[in-house]
Amino acid sequence: MVQDISAPIIPSIIPETILVPITGKLSHDRFEAIISSLLNACYGNEVQTVIIDFTAISKKEIGETAVLGQSIDHLVNSLNLMGAETFLVGFTPDFTQELMRSGMRIRSDLNTFLTFRSALQYLMKKKGITFA
């Protein structure tokens, strides 16, 4: 059942880029299901960039705080091993504080943006993409 509610994978307007909006209760098992789905999506579709959107996550959706940072780190590392660049977007102040309490290490190469839109704008500029 957890696998059925892992997370939707939505193709972006930017080639080889997908959006993954995260909603609902976060747990270790849920993150494992999300990681599995994303790795398969990257492998089968030549995905180069994954934008993971946490906008819908509030403090009440955060399950085990101790494993939260570790799960996100595992997610990013797994995608990087598949050759996908990962962008994390939509952190609320409460969610950010919970991440820091969980002991998450902030990596210098971690791509974070306040909104999905700002991540897309950055990617478009980086890839030289313009829309008329």
* Inter-residue long-range contacts of 60-66, CB under 8 Å, 24+ positions, other chains counted: 61/23, 61/24, 61/25, 61/26, 62/26, 62/95, 62/98, 63/25, 63/26, 63/27, 63/28, 63/30, 64/27, 64/28, 65/98, 65/101, 65/102, 66/102, 66/103
Q: Where are the domains of the chain?
A: 3-126
The answer regarding whether domain 3-126 maps to CATH 3.30.70.580 reads no
Residue 2 is classified by DSSP as T
Give the pLDDT of the chain (132 residues) as one tens digit per residue. Answer: 344 457 899 999 999 999 999 988 888 888 899 999 999 999 888 899 999 999 988 777 777 777 788 888 899 999 999 999 999 999 988 888 888 887 777 777 889 999 999 999 999 999 998 876
What's this model's pTM, rounded to 2 decimal places?
0.89
Give me the pLDDT at residue 101, please.
Answer: 81
